[in-house]
Amino acid sequence: MKKKRNKLEIVYDIMRAIMDQKNRVRPTQILYKSNLSHKMLVEYINELVGKGLIEEVEEDKKRYYCLTKKGFRFIEDYEKVKAFMECYGIE
Amino acid sequence: MISIIEISPTWFYNYNIILEMFFAVISGLISWFGAKAYRITKKNEAKILSRAFLFISLSYLLEGVFSWLSIREILNKSSQIPWSYLLLRTTAIYSHKLFMLLGLIALFIFTIKEKRKEVFIILTAISILTISFQNSCWMSFFLLNTIFLLFISQYYLKNYMRRKNLASLLTSCAFILMTLANITLAISIENPILYVPSQCLNLGAYTALLTNLYIILKARK
C-alpha cells in the first residue's frame, strides 16, 4: 500500500505538476496530476499563492498557474533535501 | 606524561591537524545541510542528524585548534616541556573525546529511531564514566566508538540495500571506513605505526561524505 503523503509532499507534487507543464497550467490539470479533491486543491493553491510560491495569470479569460522564482527555488531546495535525507536514511 | 596522552607519531602532528580541520569542515557542512532539511521538512530525525554532525565537527575543530596551540607552545620553549603544552593537549584530547562520543551517541539514537531524551542522557553518562574510570581511556574510547559505529554502519548498509543508489552507497562506505579506522586506532595504542593508516581510513570516509554532498548539491532533476 502506498504511504499517505504529508503536506510538504502534496505541495511539492502540485508545484512539480506546474513545472512539468512548462510552468503554465490550468487548475484542472493540477487537479488531475496532484490527485486531490477540488476543495483541498483550492485550499492548497490559495496557500501557495499567499506564500508567493505560485502566481495566477489570466489569458483569454482563462486562469493559469505558474511558479514564481521563489517557487523554483523551493523545488530545487526540496529535491536536494529529499536526496540528502534519503541517503542518510531519513524517511 | 606525553607518551600517555599522545598516540600519533611526532612527525604526523601537523598533518593530523590539517586532517582534523578537514573532517571538521565536512561534518560542519553535513550538520548545516541537516539543519536546512529540518527547516524545510520539520522532521525530528533531520534535527538529530544535524546535531550529531555538529558534535563531530566540534570534536575535530576543538582538537585541531588546541593541538595547534599546544604545538606553538612547545616550539617556543627549547628545554623543558611546558605545563601549558600539557594543559592544551589534554584539553584537545578530552574535548575531542567528549564531543565525538556525543556525536556518535546522537547518530546511534537516530539509527534506532529512539525519541526519548533520557536514552541519550543515560548513554552519554555511561560512556563518559566508562572512559573516565579506565586505565587506558584511549582504548575504552575507541572501543565504545567502534560499538556505536558498528550499529550505525549496519543501519546505513540496510539503507543502501533498500535504495541501491550511489549516494546511499557512499554514506554506507563512509561509516564502514570510520568503523575500520576506529578499530585500527584502538590497535595503534600498542602499535603507533598504525595511527597513520587509521587516519587515512578516516580521510577516505570523510572524502566519501564530501563526494556524497557534492553529488546531492549538484543534482538537477
CATH of residue B67's domain is 1.20.1070
Q: Please say whether the beta carbons of B102 and B56 come within 8 A.
A: no
CA–CA separation, A23 and A30 (whole Å): 11
- The domain in which residue A46 lies consists of 18-84
Tell me the per-residue pLDDT of B32-87, one tens digit each, with 9 for 90 and over. Answer: 999 999 999 999 999 999 999 999 999 999 999 998 888 887 776 666 777 888 88
pLDDT of residue B3: 46
Out of B41, B159, B219, name the one closest to residue A89 (CB). Answer: B159
B1 within a domain of the structure (yes/no):
no
**Closest to B168 (Cβ–Cβ): which among A79, A80, A86?**
A86
d(CA B24, CA B20): 6
How many folded domains does chain B comprise?
1
B91 touches B66 (CB < 8 A): yes
B83 in any annotated domain: yes
Question: Looking at the 3D structure of chain A, how many domains does it have?
Answer: 1
The secondary structure of residue A25, as a DSSP letter, is B
Confidence of residue A1 (pLDDT cuts 50, 70, 90): low
State the smallest CA–CA distance between residue A60 and chain B in angstroms.
32
Which residue does chain A place closest to B36, by CA atoms? A81
For residues B4, B8, B11 and B14, what is the CA-based torsion angle, rounded to 10 degrees?
Answer: -110
* Contact between B37 and A77 using a beta-carbon 8 Å cutoff: no
How far A35 CA lies from chain B's nearest CA (Å)?
21
Contact check, Cβ <8 Å, A84/B159: no
Q: Is residue A56 a part of any domain in this protein?
A: yes
CATH number of the domain that residue A38 is part of = 1.10.10.10
pTM for the whole thing?
Answer: 0.89
- DSSP class of residue A53 equals S
B76 and B68 in contact (C-beta within 8 Å)?
no
Question: For residue B184, what is its C-alpha cell?
Answer: 585500527
Task: Provide the pLDDT for residue B86.
Answer: 84
Per the domain annotation, does A66 fall within a domain? yes
Cα–Cα distance list, B135 to A32, A44, B90, B140, B186 (Å): 68, 62, 16, 9, 14
| Residue closest to B158 by CA, chosen among B169, B147, B145, B149 | B169
| Domain annotation covers residue A4 | no
Residues in chain B closer than 8 A to A11 (CB atoms):
none
As a whole number of angstroms, the distance between CA B40 and CA A82 comes to: 10
Q: Which domain holds residue B189?
A: 6-218
Contact B43 A90 (CB under 8 A): yes
Residue B136 has pLDDT above 90, yes or no: no
Residue A32 lies in a domain: yes
Which member of A79, A81, A85 has the closest CB to residue B221? A79
Tens digits of residue pLDDT in B157-198: 999 999 899 999 999 999 999 999 999 999 988 888 899 999
Whether the complex's predicted ipTM surpasses the cut of 0.90: no
**pLDDT band, residue B14 (cuts 50/70/90):** confident
Rounded CA-CA distance A58/B130 in Å is 69
d(CA B198, CA B3): 19
B38 to chain A, closest Cα gap in Å: 9
